[in-house]
Chain A
Amino acid sequence: MSDRDEDDAVAGAFALGTLDPEDRRAAEQRIAQDPAFARTVAAWERRLAPLAAIPEAVEPPAELWTRIEQATILKATNVVPLRRARQWQFGTIASLAIAASLAAFIVLQRPEPAHVAVLAPIADGTAVLLAIDGSNGHLTVRPTGAIRVPTDKDLELWALTKGDTKPRSLGVLPAEGRTLVASLRPDTQLLVSLEPRGGSPTGQPTGPVVYGGTLTQIN
């Protein structure tokens, strides 16, 4: 058997999953160091993947999505000094966020921002949500990139005041964003959930929360 066949057999056994633990670890190291071997493994992954049609689908536990959400959205709020935030014009922020390759919502309450928060996300540390809390009660929500919502769904914006247990609806949020009147206290959480067309039928979020962040006061 040639070296090429030998490599191919090891790569195939790796993709199939039959290598014993020690051989599997050795193969993992080789994948990380040897691009040609990694490609051979990838070719086997592709060849064997249709076998995954055999196992039956089994509904995961209901709380699994929440666990995944918690593991992929960072809850921490990074506060940006107000002066710097004022210098950031809306477009600058939008283009920064687009440059960061993120489709996210910018939340602005204008004019004369009194509080500001940048909500930094996800694994790679790029900002997804900027919230500036103004004093005239106008809240503008804008996506920084294209957000496509399934045709049978709508996004709905919610405000959860600190200490409350139930969010109140601020209405359906078109994918292109909207401006609305809302008087929000600092520490209010803004949440966006995915709901049936026309918004939640119950007055409470019924679908998954897909964006979220907290307004924080700056002094």
Chain B
Amino acid sequence: MPDSAPLADDTATLLHRCAYGDRVAFRALYDRWGAKLHGIALRIVRQPSLAADATQEAFVQIWQQAHRFDPERGSAEAFLVTLVRYRALDIARRTAREVLGYEGADEPDDSPDALSRMVSSAEGIALKRCLERLEPSRRKMVTMAFVDGLTHGDLAQKLSIPLGTVKSAIRRSLLSLRECLAA
């Protein structure tokens, strides 16, 4: 992921130029973000051809909806990440995902190494700190849900715990993250 403040500004500028129909900016955005967004989609849909579909749909939406990006409401990175995740989640819900497929990293996503990738932005540092305050089992649920695109039902099955327990654990985790981030 692009990791410095000037690059963060550049992504916002590229999005702004896309909103004005600038194809050069669109290509630059693809060069910078294509592999990252594809990697995010691949973890969720787990099949390369579906991940490419999600990434394509996301970039088409980026081109069509760049004018909706409002820097007051969130970062350009969050805008891109949200678009590709929602496309991937839609595809994952529409298609029965293969249980065996792309597995991604060897290390667990809630390992210190994995979480340390978040420290490239102020928002990431704050979220990492707040995630580390959660009980380990809840931290694991939140990161698994986000990275692998798992529903409450998927988590219950995968972790062999009752659905109600998963729902309340996610709810409590989110509310404590909100409080911690607001502090």
**Contact status B26-A148, CB under 8 Å:** no
Q: Across the interface, which residues of A come within 8 angstroms of B127, CB to CB?
A: 47-48, 50-51
**Contact status A68-B39, CB under 8 Å:** no
Q: Across the interface, which residues of A come within 8 angstroms of B124, CB to CB?
A: 50, 53
- Among the interface residues B20, B23, B34, B51, which one has the most CB atoms of the partner chain A within 10 A? B23
Bound state CA distance, A18 and B145, in angstroms?
6
Bound state CA distance, A208 and B149, in angstroms?
32
**Contact status A17-B149, CB under 8 Å:** yes
Bound state CA distance, A208 and B31, in angstroms?
10
Task: Mark interface residues in A53-72 (1 if CB within 8 Å of B CB, else 0).
Answer: 11111111100110110011
Number of interface residues of B (CB under 8 A): 72
Bound state CA distance, A47 and B89, in angstroms?
18
B178: interface (CB < 8 Å) = yes
Bound state CA distance, A122 and B120, in angstroms?
34
Q: Across the interface, which residues of A come within 8 angstroms of B143, CB to CB?
A: 51, 54
**Contact status B150-A60, CB under 8 Å:** no
- For window 111-170 of chain B, which residues contact chain A by CB distance below 8 Å? 114-115, 117-118, 120-121, 123-124, 127-128, 142-143, 145-147, 149-153, 155, 170
Q: Across the interface, which residues of A come within 8 angstroms of B42, CB to CB?
A: 55, 58
Number of interface residues of A (CB under 8 A): 60
A49: interface (CB < 8 Å) = yes
**Contact status A61-B52, CB under 8 Å:** yes
Q: Across the interface, which residues of B come within 8 angstroms of A58, CB to CB?
A: 35, 38-39, 42, 51
**Contact status B146-A17, CB under 8 Å:** yes
- For window 65-83 of chain B, which residues contact chain A by CB distance below 8 Å? 73-75, 77-78, 81-82
Known contacts: A50-B123, A64-B52. The answer to whether A57 contacts B39 by CB under 8 A is yes
**Contact status A52-B123, CB under 8 Å:** no
Bound state CA distance, A150 and B27, in angstroms?
11
Q: Across the interface, which residues of A come within 8 angstroms of B23, CB to CB?
A: 73, 210-211
A83: interface (CB < 8 Å) = no
Least CB separation from B141: chain A residue: A18
Task: Mark interface residues in A122-160 (1 if CB within 8 Å of B CB, else 0).
Answer: 111010100000000000000001011110000100000
Q: Across the interface, which residues of B come within 8 angstroms of A150, CB to CB?
A: 24, 28
A110: interface (CB < 8 Å) = no
**Contact status A13-B21, CB under 8 Å:** no
Bound state CA distance, A183 and B74, in angstroms?
50
B175: interface (CB < 8 Å) = yes
- In the assembled complex, the CB of B151 is this many whole angstroms from the nearest CB of chain A, namely 5
> Which 3 residue pairs are nearest across A and B when measured between Cβ atoms?
A50-B124, A49-B78, A102-B21
Question: Chain A: residues with CB nearer than 8 A to chain B?
Answer: 5, 8-9, 12-13, 15-21, 24, 42, 44-61, 64-65, 67-68, 71-73, 100-104, 121-124, 126, 128, 145, 147-150, 155, 194, 208, 210-211
* Contacts A/B (CB < 8 Å), 10 sampled: A8-B174, A16-B146, A18-B150, A46-B73, A46-B75, A47-B177, A51-B146, A56-B105, A122-B63, A150-B24
